[in-house]
Structure 1
């Protein structure tokens, strides 16, 4: 690939230099590189590496469907101009993949759950490129495609973002007249046995919403599709939360899926169903949510373009750019087009300049470079190509305002900011000096209040940022240390916090943020038969004291206050972990002083009274950012005392702090004095 720097335009894009030419060149590079790994008929693209958890057949389908997204966006934005013959190339794969007699035929939707995901990508691209692909397919291939997609009708989908996959597929089927355009006999057979997702992934709530007798024959299947779509839309309405945010299902699951799936598909569906009164009436609601969500989302991109390193499926990398392009595609006036492109281009440039794709033009399982632990157990070598969703902006023509507007700076580049996001329970703080965005987490754990699961490092830590990664491998992935407040049992094992209650998410008049949560410390011996898909795991539980944690956040500082309430059978020392700092080497000048530096950033935990131990733990190969992770911590040397408030100041920033916040007490009131001279008083009595 030619260096992307040759396309730089610092007048149009003063912050990234990136233009539509960069995006187009990157997409072409990914697509042409992928052809080296395609089967003879193009139906399967099998990238190098061990097979994923669902097997090589699913991997090959993922490789086709996910690169197909980039191809579709590329051609749609060029109004059919296709110098690389992308549509013809993928048409061959469609013909073979949907042919039930082909040796390269795809795993069907009624044979495995994962094809239900990939089917949505097929339907989406066939919609976007209809004049240049679908309308030119041989009628026999069109029938095969319809036949391949039809098991979506009436099938159970997991009650999360997957519901949108069914909606998109069935809306496409309705738009092309299938299955009603075919003979009754072929489709009547579908009314007998319907496909299921794997055991444990059934969408019972959605299935119940479709109770009642289904129709017969062609008209019946069309009625079934409309019933599925209506039920799915009603069901996904339940995902909506405050300020435009979506939870990914009933759990407190807030992550990048809120943007790259739950904001994306509603806009796509309303376009696919344009003219339908239901779609037209919902569009205004969806766009209002998207606009409000994007006001928060632009603050969650670091000045270096890194998205927040939180939540599962991070190996999809620049899929995190999807919601910004969705806002442009929907014609939103705010955030401004130049800011939307700045966010999206910053994200993709961040990865392109850090080794993704690799020298062979492949998106490997990893973050900047190959690093398998960042993926889920089911991920295969084709999975990372969902990153193609982040190239959705290419579906917009070169004269669209999002491409012609001058880039505007990200919030992290214009000044310090701090605000609370009630839905996920996040306190967000960005600082211009280092361009880092930090999130203190008192509302997200991918679970429900009262559960006693292990902590997922991707969801249940107390803090996440654009410059640090939680420990995702090694002992500290399963035994929380970074960004934690834990009781150590008799074996020195830390307790978990999943299942906490959110007590407070607020912003004081001074701008200081407050968040608080409470949970019963617990230790879990995981059930070895439980699969880990990125959330907590169940098992045999031991219970300890209740912990109440309050975070006061200002700039690069957090004052963390912790109190224990006696309960349960286990007690022990209290340990507080700070920001996990990526480092090239485990040696620093201050490994024993409660702080660490990697030359660019500093991480500190400054203990208050009674926290008489401190240090820095160096964890090898525990995150995708660097060979080592340095985690400062402090602790009590003896069992923590109930009803006593413990305090620590936690720091992440570019400059080593000369002053730290101080805390003084007047009864239940904590008086906080910050390095900038601001004072805040927090009445802890209100926390109970």
Structure 2
């Protein structure tokens, strides 16, 4: 059998009869003489995502997050940490963990891990929004505007797992989530990427049938489109900033807000297609920035978000919308190389398994004045492609060199071009 055909067919055919067990899938792959690179990469990334996420999800599910999580802050930190850092940790963790959870339970070893995390995550959501919970979180601007940011990441995470998270919450918890997010309307967004935080919350309310306000969505779309600078890059406000906010926030949230509007209101389709094309181009740029060694430029603010710099690339892979000349397998290999360089560095985690401030290890000095322990968990958004099942070509394809690795090895590399739209 032609290997390329098998890779495309196995999600529907080869895996269909074996998906009930890891051994069955591995046996099917062995029978076709397929390499095991993707299985190894997936296992590594699943275990790493759980390692990062579990302390937050587990403690919150028990109502012990505030009692357990460290509150390390950047030098010259300028926020009331005990009022903001816990929602930061949870909202950001959920934003990255959700696509993997949305695959739901199955009988594989990975599936058993997912069942465990699903149960804890549903309990964690309930704890975060229940006023009677010891871990009830602040969804107001009473102490600081930061809850708007992380309420938005929470909303984005729920949008990424509509069946396994939102759909399996009790009606009481769903209403408490809605009430919490609506209360964030009291916070006025700054005239920069923050306009998308208000917009993604309203898009989530629309998606799940709650009362929503279209004004923040219209404003965000108008502003972000006005701030477009060319060749896939948006300004963060009127001016361009050389950092990774196009990936941390702007492109993933813009595309998903427009997608909801296109699906739910039958409008903004042209803007959705335009934003998606730009994110595809931006994904190609991100992929080219990964060096043969799995490093990438450390430039701009918020570098303690680590591999969240590749959220846009990971989301494009998750949506199966990668540019035609970039194979899913090369993106898998590139992102796995990045994760190994970052998370295997001593000092990344403390002795109890919590993330520490830094980019590659423990480096408090690299942090901005708004960075605390909770901020760091945006790194989970670099794992969005785990929402693709094991049978997908992203995981089934043989290991491939990514663009920079090929270029620096003297291999054939296609020329690169900017886009005009």
Gaps of 5+ in 2: 1-25, 411-421
Which residue matches 2:326?
Answer: 335
Name the CA distance, whole Å, in 1 between partners of 2:279 and 2:127: 38
Asked if 1:311 is matched to 2:342, the reply is: no
Contact 2:221/2:254 (8 A) holds in 1: no
Q: 1:137 to 1:101 in 2, by over 3 A?
A: same
Name the CA distance, whole Å, in 2 between partners of 1:26 and 1:402: 18
Cα deviation, 1:522-575, whole Å, max 9, x if unaligned, reads xxxxxxxxxxxxxxxxxxxxxxxxxxxxxxxxxxxxxxxxxxxxxxxxxxxxxx
Asked if 1:118 is matched to 2:150, the reply is: yes
Contact 1:307/1:320 (8 A) holds in 2: no
Q: 1:348 to 1:253 in 2, by over 3 A?
A: same
Segments of 4+ in structure 1 off by > 6 A? none
SS in 2 for 1:241: strand
Q: Which has the higher contact order (CA 8 A, sep 6+)?
A: 2
TM-superposed CA distance for 1:384, in Å, is 0.9
SS in 1 for 2:390: coil
- The equivalences for 1:458-469 within 5 A come to none
Asked if 1:260 is matched to 2:286, the reply is: no
Higher strand share: 1
The partner residue of 2:89 within 63, 70, 87 is: 63
- The equivalences for 1:399-414 within 5 A come to 399-414=391-406
Which residue matches 2:8?
Answer: none
Name the CA distance, whole Å, in 1 between partners of 2:125 and 2:48: 24
Which residue matches 1:90?
Answer: 121
Which residue matches 1:130?
Answer: 162
Which residue matches 2:63?
Answer: 41
Name the CA distance, whole Å, in 2 between partners of 1:45 and 1:409: 45
Q: 1:379 to 1:343 in 2, by over 3 A?
A: same
Name the CA distance, whole Å, in 2 between partners of 1:134 and 1:297: 31
Q: 1:102 to 1:33 in 2, by over 3 A?
A: closer
Name the CA distance, whole Å, in 2 between partners of 1:350 and 1:55: 29
Q: 1:27 to 1:153 in 2, by over 3 A?
A: same
TM-superposed CA distance for 1:311, in Å, is 0.6
SS in 2 for 1:31: helix
Count of aligned residue pairs for this structure pair: 366
Which residue matches 1:106?
Answer: 137
- The equivalences for 1:613-628 within 5 A come to none
Query: Normalization by structure 2: what TM-score?
Result: 0.78
SS in 2 for 1:409: coil
Name the CA distance, whole Å, in 2 between partners of 1:57 and 1:239: 32
Cα deviation, 1:79-116, whole Å, max 9, x if unaligned, reads 68564532332333322322335443211233231111
Gaps of 5+ in 1: 1-6, 180-221, 417-431, 434-688
SS in 1 for 2:214: helix
Name the CA distance, whole Å, in 2 between partners of 1:371 and 1:170: 36
Which residue matches 2:344?
Answer: 353
Asked if 1:320 is matched to 2:309, the reply is: yes
TM-superposed CA distance for 1:312, in Å, is 0.7
Name the CA distance, whole Å, in 2 between partners of 1:36 and 1:329: 26
- The equivalences for 1:521-670 within 5 A come to none
Cα deviation, 1:396-428, whole Å, max 9, x if unaligned, reads 222222222233323322235xxxxxxxxxxxx
Name the CA distance, whole Å, in 1 between partners of 2:225 and 2:112: 38
Cα deviation, 1:120-150, whole Å, max 9, x if unaligned, reads 2211222222222222322222211111000
TM-superposed CA distance for 1:310, in Å, is 0.4
SS in 1 for 2:157: helix
Contact 1:43/1:61 (8 A) holds in 2: no
Cα deviation, 1:456-481, whole Å, max 9, x if unaligned, reads xxxxxxxxxxxxxxxxxxxxxxxxxx
Greater mean alpha carbon deviation, residues 124-133 or residues 166-175? 124-133
- The equivalences for 1:293-442 within 5 A come to 293-332=282-321, 333-355=324-346, 356-357=348-349, 360-415=352-407
Contact 2:252/2:312 (8 A) holds in 1: yes
The partner residue of 1:25 within 20, 40, 47 is: 47
Name the CA distance, whole Å, in 2 between partners of 1:278 and 1:154: 27
Contact 1:244/1:293 (8 A) holds in 2: yes
Kindly report the root-mean-square deviation, in angstroms, between the aligned alpha carbons of the 2 structures: 2.9
Query: Normalization by structure 1: what TM-score?
Result: 0.49
